[in-house]
Structure 1
């Protein structure tokens, strides 16, 4: 389900392709022959996929769920009537739309003399007429794949109010990211939707996960939803903005996909519900979500802020419906009040400074010619995988990936402000006038692919990352991690403080505050911070070399974790570890432990690995034992110090799911 922190089991769009693009699920279509798309897997995964696809197809699936999501009965009835229009009058269970094959231990025929056997977790053998092929779908922990399409690199200025175009394609586009935008407001970063491959998009734009303030969500289809796990890979809970009915459908879908309670996702995001049809104030940035007809709960989003005597407004209209289609439904149907659907059309056509529209031109998407008389200052055409036609080019503009429309230019020193915030956060308690000693240094720019510090080279400057992403590489020790805004590159204490412990290399455009080493260490010593920072350094260094703690943690969070580490030791080789404090997770610094079940080793744990999360975090023990193979020592950490750090919680969840599957064997 999760591999490398990301979804690895998204079947919705392949199924939608077969059902609707190929016509297998459309009444009367020549390809609707009775043969259904086929899901193959173990029983738990099949059930999870059926429920997830069900939610992706329909969203909320009853009047009761709509009412629970905060709609009035009148509103719920209108939304339900719209839903029935798209569902051809009936909500169908997914098993009515799909066939499935449950894999156990035996070889099973798929179709037409093609057989499949499950050999292990995510490992299969497929055979046909004596020919066989082995398939391994496991992804190594540190495996990194290139982006599926060229994105280039872009140096995005943090404007006062601007819109970065981070996707113009649709869910079928093999050349571009799905339709999305990034709002830059007063230097803060807000996403509008999170589609597949968003991690690559953010790197190309030089935006680190920890820099993201929040996400505004329009609906739960995978091309706007699949990137949510990327946003969990942060050291703080990113704000999640949506109307309650959109949020409910999103959380029910992700809950089905991961087989987790919906309420768990409030632990990963800082949830803020938006009121539909009203302007909601988000620290000066106003947003108005409007209901938009679609098979699942969907809203368009308009953003505005006041400047120079007027409002500047951006409207994001994804997954809208053709205006003629809406007018036709209103004219033919008595189930919608007079003017109800026309009001939606009027909302689509309301003039603004900048408008991005969906021109997917099918039964559940918009059309460019609906906007030929739109009086907006600038219209961007999106949500399409095909080249624009000439008549469309007369209506709206294109927006290549990474282009920014600046609505209100920033005249402030945004990077200096960031530097102050990061330093004051890390060097807590230092007065502003003292911090200015460090701030009065040069801000430097690095192109993508530039080595900032080389392993074992002399450190003459520290670099406080203000924007962008930097990778840390030490091939000899098998270490790879990434850092983004707020990270301090090159800081070392104790022995070999003058030599870099790794190579630090930019993977995007990077802006950094360049701080000379000697004045920095003199500064922390003068302010009586040297002892505390140096005492924690070895622990922080150890944490950086682990998978669980080595990625996307700001210096403040690293320091907080290091402060609460408690040493432990188990030295009786050949014995079982049984006396664990159930409030702690245990991280190995030295030694080796084997996780065994029924005398069979199912996992080998060494330096950098961890155990104890089964009870401490998830409340129930694995059906396995921990055998000491070599004297083991390290640190234990009370779970209260990590429960509010999403990336750590998410990695623990991924590991927990893997270990549960391992404890069940191949079932």
Structure 2
């Protein structure tokens, strides 16, 4: 009998009489789970069928850190069971993160910058840093095994049959026990599932700083007790993710911070503990701008395009990119940034920021150690680069410096220097216990701090004034195209209101309250017919339908458990100021389309974890259509719309199969080639035709969904994946 243990971050570990056998699925940071549960990482791993989980958008084959742990800590190889086509993808990924890119782009550098990144990378590949002739190669640490063949781990045989994985011992099938239940096998394809429920935090009077930072994680990729380093840098009340850890959006949601407050991501380098959350954020959130060098961006795309089965153009369509040059000033949100290449095993950027006479330094991963002098002595780095790495950070007001130790990171003792009273050093990328061990055994010379995680511990270097009415209104995407004079009129006819925990704001059926509301703090619960339907967060809005339809309220709105604050806009003023604008037409259309029960479509997997605003903006582009039997709604010549099946039967014809779909078992299935619509790829669906006497659909026009995709890239992988699954599993 074998025991199956589900890991908190996803994936399963198989044990035999307490002995580790194999792990199935490798989402980011599951190595922390196994170290916490078993005291070590496993040596054998099975890569699941899907390399990206389409609910969380996390990599399910994060092999980097298990391989690092086994090779550098346990001095042994890691064995990866995967399909042959997956092997090639993972080899490229691992080489890019371990060895680094083959070429450093000349465009990365400003004028008069001397920096030999390739030679520095070779130094860090040495098995012994004093021996330049013995370099680490990927095959030293990992071996790939074809999952189509049987594998023996001691006396246990692992066999994949179709979509299931079976275990045998002495030619007899082994029984699996999972949470007290007996199983014959485990699925080869699995989902990380829904995110875990959480309690929302109550933040009293929190405003986004004018300049400051919020720590999302402060530890490294091996610490089972800590979250991997990453933070939000706040400038003028707008957030920039710096290497967001996996699940960073959950932290925002727990704190009622809207995704729309994040306007950019700085990608420092392509190690999994720094870029896994970046990939997730690009796919999960609103469209943002990526700041990095051309070399790092190319490396990122090379690393992940195989996992997603896309080309380079896919990444460029997900985000806007601003390529930075090292040691050259760049203005980001009215702050002056200057990037530099850190001293690390692969191309890595750190940066400095100057904003309103305050300065901040971020090291990223870098090598500040007694052994750094080895690079100087061998002529790999210049004296100027050595002094920059070892001392330049000491000139800044706020210093966010990694202190990971080991052979490629910074020794925390070098961060302990005599600071000014108004100067602060934060030790990132190290376990808190390591920080405490150092501080308890040494008398600190200056303000060396350990960053506290969470929005409630945000370091506000320059405080933001309280949000004005104008700030609130202009933070809502809905009003972006409204003339300034109309916005000022709305501002004049609005008031802030505060509601206690569980207090009713709107009552279902009420015909007197015709006002429009924007949430400014906390969250609300929306109920229909006494049933909780969804939550609304900061900068979400409600109340527009009753104003336009002149009907009673369609739902009850109740303040969340910590209460909420809203900006209440007079309904008549709202109506007058959107009159004769595109917004009026959009909202009128929204009210009309909602009469067709559009809410049900957002209960499907396509829209799982979408914010209320993301759902509403999609609802605005839906249309209702009916077609008669024999109508062809999609072909090579007729591909200007996508469809969601409401009622009826249709037949889909691809190049090699035909599939009959009925709304009886696949209601709201998306129909059409979304990649063809959004990316102009070759059309993979020859024809979609109506089989029933009549069929009804929600449709989306090509230009409308392209505009939506520009703001919310998540729609592409969601619509493509779930429809492809249906087509793969059905028809002949």
The one of the two structures with greater contact order (alpha-carbon pairs below 8 A, sep at least 6) is: 1
Change (3 A) 1:277 1:648: closer
Kindly indicate whether residue 345 of structure 2 is the aligned counterpart of residue 295 of structure 1. yes
Q: In structure 1, what is the equivalent of residue 150 of structure 2?
A: 108
Q: Distance in 1 between matches of 2:340 and 2:274?
A: 17
| TM-superposition CA deviations, 1:342-394 (whole Å, max 9, x none) | 332223x3322111221212112212210222536111122122413354363
Could you tell me the TM-score, scaled by structure 2's length? Answer: 0.75
Q: In structure 2, what is the equivalent of residue 389 of structure 1?
A: 436
Q: Distance in 1 between matches of 2:209 and 2:322?
A: 24
SS at match of 2:644: strand
Structure 2: 5+ residue stretches without partners? 1-50, 127-131, 177-184
Please say if residues 424 and 430 of structure 1, whose CA atoms lie closer than 8 Å, have aligned partners that are also in contact. no
- Structure 1 position 269, deviation (Å): 1.2
Kindly indicate whether residue 52 of structure 2 is the aligned counterpart of residue 2 of structure 1. yes
Q: Distance in 1 between matches of 2:331 and 2:364?
A: 22
Aligned pair partner of 1:632 in 686, 692, 695: 695
Q: Using the TM superposition, name which of 221-230 and 516-525 deviates more.
A: 516-525
Aligned pair partner of 1:145 in 189, 196, 201: 196
SS at match of 1:32: coil
Please say if residues 305 and 312 of structure 2, whose CA atoms lie closer than 8 Å, have aligned partners that are also in contact. yes
- Structure 1 position 457, deviation (Å): 6.1
Q: In structure 1, what is the equivalent of residue 485 of structure 2?
A: 432
Change (3 A) 1:535 1:10: closer
Kindly indicate whether residue 494 of structure 2 is the aligned counterpart of residue 441 of structure 1. yes
Change (3 A) 1:651 1:140: farther
- Structure 1 position 262, deviation (Å): 2.2
Q: Distance in 2 between matches of 1:195 and 1:152?
A: 20
Counting only pairs closer than 5 Å after superposition, residues 512-523 of structure 1 correspond to structure 2 as 512-515=566-569, 517=571, 520-521=574-575
Please say if residues 150 and 158 of structure 2, whose CA atoms lie closer than 8 Å, have aligned partners that are also in contact. yes
Q: Distance in 2 between matches of 1:254 and 1:505?
A: 42
Aligned pair partner of 1:67 in 95, 98, 105: 105
Please say if residues 159 and 184 of structure 1, whose CA atoms lie closer than 8 Å, have aligned partners that are also in contact. yes
SS at match of 1:369: helix
| TM-superposition CA deviations, 1:100-122 (whole Å, max 9, x none) | 23334xx722522434444566x
Kindly indicate whether residue 337 of structure 2 is the aligned counterpart of residue 337 of structure 1. no
Change (3 A) 1:157 1:530: closer
Please say if residues 191 and 214 of structure 1, whose CA atoms lie closer than 8 Å, have aligned partners that are also in contact. yes
Q: Distance in 2 between matches of 1:617 and 1:440?
A: 40
Aligned pair partner of 1:21 in 42, 59, 69: 69
- Structure 1 position 583, deviation (Å): 3.0
SS at match of 1:301: strand
Please say if residues 472 and 504 of structure 1, whose CA atoms lie closer than 8 Å, have aligned partners that are also in contact. yes
Q: In structure 1, what is the equivalent of residue 245 of structure 2?
A: 195
Change (3 A) 1:578 1:625: closer
Q: Distance in 2 between matches of 1:626 and 1:365?
A: 57
Q: Distance in 1 between matches of 2:499 and 2:246?
A: 27
Please say if residues 212 and 238 of structure 1, whose CA atoms lie closer than 8 Å, have aligned partners that are also in contact. yes
Q: In structure 2, what is the equivalent of residue 281 of structure 1?
A: 331
SS at match of 1:280: strand
Q: Distance in 2 between matches of 1:151 and 1:137?
A: 35
Q: Using the TM superposition, name which of 248-257 and 522-531 deviates more.
A: 522-531
Please say if residues 368 and 411 of structure 2, whose CA atoms lie closer than 8 Å, have aligned partners that are also in contact. yes
Q: Distance in 2 between matches of 1:407 and 1:659?
A: 48
Please say if residues 351 and 374 of structure 1, whose CA atoms lie closer than 8 Å, have aligned partners that are also in contact. no
SS at match of 1:340: helix
Please say if residues 367 and 410 of structure 2, whose CA atoms lie closer than 8 Å, have aligned partners that are also in contact. yes
Aligned pair partner of 1:380 in 404, 408, 426: 426
- Structure 1 position 265, deviation (Å): 1.2
Change (3 A) 1:66 1:151: farther
- Structure 1 position 640, deviation (Å): 3.0
Q: In structure 1, what is the equivalent of residue 182 of structure 2?
A: none
Aligned pair partner of 2:406 in 342, 362, 373: 362
Please say if residues 478 and 583 of structure 2, whose CA atoms lie closer than 8 Å, have aligned partners that are also in contact. no
Q: Distance in 2 between matches of 1:426 and 1:163?
A: 28
Please say if residues 232 and 646 of structure 1, whose CA atoms lie closer than 8 Å, have aligned partners that are also in contact. no
SS at match of 1:442: strand
Q: In structure 2, what is the equivalent of residue 419 of structure 1?
A: 472
Q: In structure 1, what is the equivalent of residue 34 of structure 2?
A: none
| TM-superposition CA deviations, 1:209-244 (whole Å, max 9, x none) | 122111222212222211224433577521111233
- Structure 1 position 428, deviation (Å): 4.2
Q: Distance in 2 between matches of 1:502 and 1:127?
A: 56
Q: In structure 2, what is the equivalent of residue 131 of structure 1?
A: 174
Q: Using the TM superposition, name which of 629-638 and 213-222 deviates more.
A: 629-638
SS at match of 1:40: strand
Aligned pair partner of 1:328 in 374, 377, 383: 374
SS at match of 1:20: helix
Kindly indicate whether residue 682 of structure 2 is the aligned counterpart of residue 620 of structure 1. yes
Could you tell me the TM-score, scaled by structure 1's length? Answer: 0.81
Q: Using the TM superposition, name which of 485-494 and 568-577 deviates more.
A: 568-577
| TM-superposition CA deviations, 1:8-59 (whole Å, max 9, x none) | 43433x5423x3333x2x4xx7x435xx312223333333222222222233
Counting only pairs closer than 5 Å after superposition, residues 14-53 of structure 1 correspond to structure 2 as 14-17=63-66, 19-22=67-70, 24=71, 26=72, 31-33=74-76, 36-53=77-94
**Number of residues of Structure 1 aligned to a counterpart in Structure 2:** 639
- Structure 1 position 189, deviation (Å): 1.6
Q: Distance in 2 between matches of 1:253 and 1:488?
A: 39
Change (3 A) 1:372 1:410: same
- Structure 1 position 437, deviation (Å): 4.3
Aligned pair partner of 2:459 in 387, 405, 413: 405
Q: In structure 2, what is the equivalent of residue 653 of structure 1?
A: 717
- Structure 1 position 399, deviation (Å): 2.6
Change (3 A) 1:664 1:522: closer
Please say if residues 540 and 562 of structure 1, whose CA atoms lie closer than 8 Å, have aligned partners that are also in contact. no
Change (3 A) 1:641 1:625: closer
Structure 1: 5+ residue stretches without partners? none
Please say if residues 59 and 297 of structure 1, whose CA atoms lie closer than 8 Å, have aligned partners that are also in contact. yes
Q: In structure 1, what is the equivalent of residue 543 of structure 2?
A: 490
Q: Using the TM superposition, name which of 369-378 and 522-531 deviates more.
A: 522-531
Change (3 A) 1:536 1:264: same
SS at match of 1:587: strand
- Structure 1 position 438, deviation (Å): 4.8
Q: Distance in 2 between matches of 1:100 and 1:472?
A: 50
Change (3 A) 1:233 1:471: farther
| TM-superposition CA deviations, 1:504-550 (whole Å, max 9, x none) | 77599865313355664576569997676323323367665435578
- Structure 1 position 313, deviation (Å): 1.0
Aligned pair partner of 1:177 in 227, 236, 254: 227
Q: In structure 2, what is the equivalent of residue 271 of structure 1?
A: 321
